[in-house]
Amino acid sequence: MEKLKLGIQKSGRLFDDSMKLLKECGIDISNGINKLKADASNFPLEVYFLRDDDIPQYVEDAVADIGFVGENVVAEKNKKVTAVRGLGFGKCRLSVAVPKGVQYPNSSWLQGKKIATSYPVVVANFLQQQGIQAEIHEISGSVEIAPGIGLADAIVDLVSSGSTLFMNGLQEVETIFTSEAALIKNQQLTPEKEAILQKLLFRIQAVKSAKNNKYILLNAPNHSLDTIVSILPGLKSPTVVPLAQEGWSSVHSMLNENEFWDIIEQLKAAGAEGILVLPIEKLIL
């Protein structure tokens, strides 16, 4: 039987989350891991451990059928691959940073300046969109030291917390690209491989929907049941079960992470008590 070949970063910021996602999808690749690849024991998948920068090229060339890689790398490499979906990890932003104390009103400040970056393609696109001409210096690592050694006036680099910039006397002034890890695929998958990919995507979706949702149980006085039920979004409608105590019911439903605190407050105001919130492991909608 054919196997789908997945390329993931061999070490670095995306490795742990990539492996974790496979595990949460019930795919076991704990056996037979060597430096280059691993075979899943219970799913038609082979995992290749690669440098993240090479993943788009390998997927274009069908060395790997699919890959998990940062959207920033996909944009930079500009290969013929299809981005299928975001994976919800590896979130970061590509930002302009300038030395502390520099006034940066907007991107026109970059006109005529020297910019150091590891992402020359994304930066060139940005400058072109803004109608700005600037000199781009491509450097592959430690971009944040470039202004300090007089190599550049500004940098464009990946930021998550901003502490690296801070330690190097820089301030983040503008975000030009936001990124997360994405699943990309080769544009000519065989129908058999496409079918395996659909199975994998189904599992990823179940894992991701579960993460964004919580299971909620609460006790409600019967006279406020209508209000409480109307506050709860739920999958279809909430489950309502009478409690042993006269005049009370137990209500079970699901809440989205984003609206969570808002809704909890409304529920309390409507008379809900004993609110219990549980994580969901998988969710098939």
Strand partners, 4: 45
28 binds ligand ATP (CB under 6 A): no
Site string for ligand ATP, 149-178 (x = CB under 6 A): ---------x-x------------------
64 binds ligand ATP (CB under 6 A): no
Spatial separation of the C-alpha atoms in residues 59 and 66, rounded to whole Å: 6
| Region from 9-17, 143-151, 231-239, 258-266 binding ligand ATP, contact rule CB under 6 A | 9-17
Spatial separation of the C-alpha atoms in residues 171 and 191, rounded to whole Å: 49
Strand, coil or helix: what is 223?
helix
Burial 199-210 (b: 16+ CB within 10 A, else e): ebbebbbbbbbb
In the complex, minimum distance from the CB of residue 73 to Zn ion, in angstroms, rounded to a whole number = 7
Q: For ligand ATP, which residue of 12, 112, 148, 242 counts as binding (CB under 6 A)?
A: 12
Strand, coil or helix: what is 161?
coil
Q: For Zn ion, which residue of 52, 54, 65, 71 counts as binding (CB under 5 A)?
A: 52
- The answer for residues whose C-beta is within 8 angstroms of residue 29's C-beta and 6 or more apart is 19, 22, 38, 39, 40, 41, 45, 47
Q: How many CB atoms lie within 10 A of CB 236?
A: 6
Inter-residue contact 13 to 180 (CB < 8 Å): no
72 binds ligand ATP (CB under 6 A): yes
Q: For ligand ATP, which residue of 17, 53, 60, 172 counts as binding (CB under 6 A)?
A: 53
Q: For ligand ATP, which residue of 43, 52, 177, 216 counts as binding (CB under 6 A)?
A: 52
In the complex, minimum distance from the CB of residue 90 to Zn ion, in angstroms, rounded to a whole number = 12
Residue nearest to ligand ATP (CB): 70
71 binds Zn ion (CB under 5 A): no
Residues in 99-118 at the binding interface with ligand ATP, rule: CB under 6 A: none
Separation in Å, CA 238 to CA 162, 206, 217, 251: 43, 20, 10, 7
CA diameter of the chain = 77
Q: For ligand ATP, which residue of 7, 70, 147, 238 counts as binding (CB under 6 A)?
A: 70
| Region from 46-54, 101-109, 118-126, 266-274 binding Zn ion, contact rule CB under 5 A | 46-54
Q: Which residues bind ligand ATP (CB under 6 A)?
A: 9, 12-14, 51-53, 70, 72-73, 90, 92, 158, 160, 179
